[in-house]
Structure 1
């Protein structure tokens, strides 16, 4: 579980990122979660945008992505979801310690 301080840190890092995945009419599927998992292993932090034609609620999409990728949900803002998962191979971000 991420602390408030860690979420704030990750939100500041994600601010300058562009969404690299889009969830559309088909919603979340296995192939998408697999690709997002692989991208998280490389990047650790990424944004996913939800298109207008997506029939699922954005919080449902976020929960499906978190469950499928085993990532942590940093933020859902507007139609954008920010996900974080610590990389095993190429660790780039050092989260602030919780007290």
Structure 2
């Protein structure tokens, strides 16, 4: 599934007031951190993750790995904070706009 620009804008506005629920530190993306991300996505659908590190390319690789491992979609990266979305197939908390 791909998100349209309209859907991304909607999710960005919904995520604006959220605080990061998971923070990746010096150990990087461990199994424990990935389990926390999966749990948070299952519960909230839309989460922010803070990825520490100075290298922008490395942060992008970590975000790509999170998407690959969890099945979530990357909505946006601003600095060290990434927004991920994984829609619940049964009953979603978010009604994405069409298009």
**TM-score over 0.5 for the alignment?**
yes
Count of aligned pairs between the two proteins: 97
TM-score by length of 2: 0.89
RMSD (CA atoms)? 1.8
- Aligned pairs for 1:16-27 (under 5 A) are 16-27=17-28
Partner of 1:78: 79
TM-score by length of 1: 0.89
Check whether the contact 1:24–1:53 (CA below 8 A) recurs between aligned residues. no
Which ranges of structure 1 fall in alignment gaps of 5 or more residues?
Answer: none
Partner of 1:48: 49
Partner of 1:32: 33
- How many Å separate the matches in 1 of 2:14 and 2:79? 18
Check whether the contact 1:25–1:53 (CA below 8 A) recurs between aligned residues. no
Q: Which runs of 4+ in 1 moved over 4 A?
A: none
